[in-house]
Structure 1
Amino acid sequence: MKALGIAATGMLAQQTNVDVISNNIANANTTGFKSSRAAFQDLIYQSVSREGALTSEQGTMTPTGIDIGLGVQTAGTVRLNTQGGLLSTENVLDVAIDGRGFFVVNMPDGGRAYTRDGAFRMSAEGELVTLQGYQVDPGIVIPEGAQNIEINEQGVVMAYLENDPVPVELGRLTLATFINEAGLRPVGNNLLEGTVASGDELPANPGDAGIGVLRQGYLENSNVNIIQQITDLISAQRAYEMNSKTIETADQMMSTATRMR
């Protein structure tokens, strides 16, 4: 009886589904987090009778066949890159991207990573860094004695020094985009890495056509919809229970057949 194996694949798929949903819920308050959903596809089919098979010498044929599916498998997890809400923090080094794009981060090993988390800080040398101490690209150093720091919508970083009424331009924050943003690989610490699937990094400036602008003093909230996640969790639980019920029913049917012998 194939139902045992088929239902088992369904239970495994729903376990994966619950894992993805639980990660979404756990990161409901993570800055810049993008929720994911599990995508599934059916497995191969066992063909008992082919569609269009001849049923007589006169050329009549079956309009439908008998194809028995062998279950389901996880095709992948799809990250939903929709905009999260902006939260006012009034911290001059907090920057949110309002629109498309990622901040570029220079990693200690020489690689590059990407993030939507704009909770920046200053290092001991005055360099703009992430909460993990990684350099924000391009390297921007805030001089000692800066009275105020301004970051405009186009990413230009300026600072007022001592009593000088004219700000000094320190550099410009740039963004990166990708042809396939869903192909980026999450590596933790709110960071993503480029892959062959994502395509090469496409540098851009904030405010360019199709590119987001920066909002100083704001952070982007997670785009997790808690109500939707709870609904999906209940649905996954019910699907898991139904698959387990299928196994119980198949087992009872096999027991009945055994007793008949």
Structure 2
Amino acid sequence: MLRGLYTAAAGMTTQQRRHDTVTQNIANMNTPGYKQENSVQRSFPEMLISMTGGNPDNPDRTVGKLNTGVFAEESLSPYIQGALKDSGQATDFAIQSNISVNDPATGQPMAFDQAGKFVNANGEVTYRPEAFFTVRDNNGNVRYTRDGHFRVNGAGALLSSTGSAVLDTNGNPIQLTSAVSALKVNERGELVDSQSNQTLGTTLGISVIDRPYQLVREGNGNFRLNDTDGATARMMTANDAVSVRQGYLEVSNVDAAQSMVDMMAALRAYEANQKVIQFYDKSLDKAVNEVGRV
């Protein structure tokens, strides 16, 4: 009889984690470059149950399969392009990424869905590569971000909003030699002279991640690459459909309406599982305190 109690408790824990994920998305709706998280629920392995007692030769002793609960396995981030907002600041940058990949079977570009995923006829899944700014944190670790809200310190170094050094295509911190008001970057991320429009030989380090779903969120808009499964990062090339917009910021890709629906659904499911536990508690109370006295 307690099997249902455990199933309801697992459901409450799962809905609580789902609710926490949605509230985190809502709290970061105004965070530049934030990518929302979606909680993925998965059921426990099914059990094959049979009748107990009776004739052991009964061919119908098998009752069937039973699922014993659900759990929140992980949180995945769809790297959907966020809208661009005009900030008017010379040190603000936004990435527009629409990289295409050809299907080896047909030679035609893959038709990625809104989540950036393509499934071929054999069921093989391919994710759209995504572009990120490349930064180096205070511990010397290379990280990736879509938050282009940069600033320049007193020494002329270009820093991210969290104080990480913004890197160029050679992996070196970008150092400005002129005033911030003269900073100009073209669509390829190249720093140019504001007077002559000549390139200065320095380019923002735009990294292309071939398997963005393997990025690990570290907080403050930074990601690290989990390369245990062969994921790689490379610098943007001229063939990549990636452009940089100066004076703009990419807003978060959180869907406010859907987030509210998900939060209410998690709340209702949590309450339903809570009611089941209360009913089990009443049944156990009756079995122990009333039936036991008869």
Q: CA RMSD in A?
A: 2.5
Q: Which of 50, 65, 70 is the matching residue for 1:67?
A: 65
> What is the distance in 2 between the residues matched to 1:43 and 1:152?
52
> What is the distance in 2 between the residues matched to 1:115 and 1:125?
23
2:216 matched residue in structure 1: 185
Would the alpha carbon gap of residues 256 and 166 (structure 1) be closer, same or farther in structure 2, given more than 3 Å must change? closer
Per-residue deviation at 1:203? 1.6
- Greater displacement, 244-253 / 166-175: 166-175
2:204 matched residue in structure 1: 173
2:4 equivalent to 1:3: yes
Question: What do residues 218-245 of structure 1 show as CA deviations (whole Å, max 9, x unaligned)?
Answer: 0000011111111000000000010011
> What is the distance in 2 between the residues matched to 1:226 and 1:140?
36
> What is the distance in 2 between the residues matched to 1:217 and 1:235?
39
1:12 matched residue in structure 2: 13
Per-residue deviation at 1:26? 0.5
Contact 1:178 1:198 in 2 (8 A): no
2:152 equivalent to 1:118: no
Contact 2:136 2:142 in 1 (8 A): yes
1:23 matched residue in structure 2: 24
* Percentage of matched positions with identical amino acids: 29
Contact 1:178 1:199 in 2 (8 A): no
1:42 matched residue in structure 2: 43
Question: What do residues 137-195 of structure 1 show as CA deviations (whole Å, max 9, x unaligned)?
Answer: 122222135762221111111133xxx54545141113112232122111112111111
Write the letter of the residue equivalent to 2:50. S
Would the alpha carbon gap of residues 121 and 208 (structure 1) be closer, same or farther in structure 2, given more than 3 Å must change? farther
> What is the distance in 1 between the residues matched to 2:268 and 2:238?
46
Would the alpha carbon gap of residues 198 and 124 (structure 1) be closer, same or farther in structure 2, given more than 3 Å must change? farther
Write the letter of the residue equivalent to 2:252. S
1:141 matched residue in structure 2: 175
Write the letter of the residue equivalent to 1:183. Q
Write the letter of the residue equivalent to 1:76. E
Would the alpha carbon gap of residues 111 and 56 (structure 1) be closer, same or farther in structure 2, given more than 3 Å must change? same
> What is the distance in 1 between the residues matched to 2:232 and 2:144?
10
- TM-score, normalised on structure 2? 0.77
Q: Secondary structure at the match of 2:193?
A: strand
Per-residue deviation at 1:102? 0.5
- TM-score, normalised on structure 1? 0.86
Would the alpha carbon gap of residues 121 and 170 (structure 1) be closer, same or farther in structure 2, given more than 3 Å must change? farther
- Greater displacement, 78-87 / 41-50: 41-50
> What is the distance in 1 between the residues matched to 2:45 and 2:150?
49
> What is the distance in 2 between the residues matched to 1:136 and 1:246?
53
Would the alpha carbon gap of residues 190 and 20 (structure 1) be closer, same or farther in structure 2, given more than 3 Å must change? same
2:124 matched residue in structure 1: none
Unmatched tracts of structure 2, length 5 or more: 98-129
Unmatched tracts of structure 1, length 5 or more: none
Contact 2:11 2:270 in 1 (8 A): yes
2:81 matched residue in structure 1: 83
Would the alpha carbon gap of residues 18 and 202 (structure 1) be closer, same or farther in structure 2, given more than 3 Å must change? same
Would the alpha carbon gap of residues 115 and 146 (structure 1) be closer, same or farther in structure 2, given more than 3 Å must change? closer
> What is the distance in 2 between the residues matched to 1:4 and 1:147?
65
Per-residue deviation at 1:68? 2.0
Per-residue deviation at 1:96? 0.1
1:224 matched residue in structure 2: 254
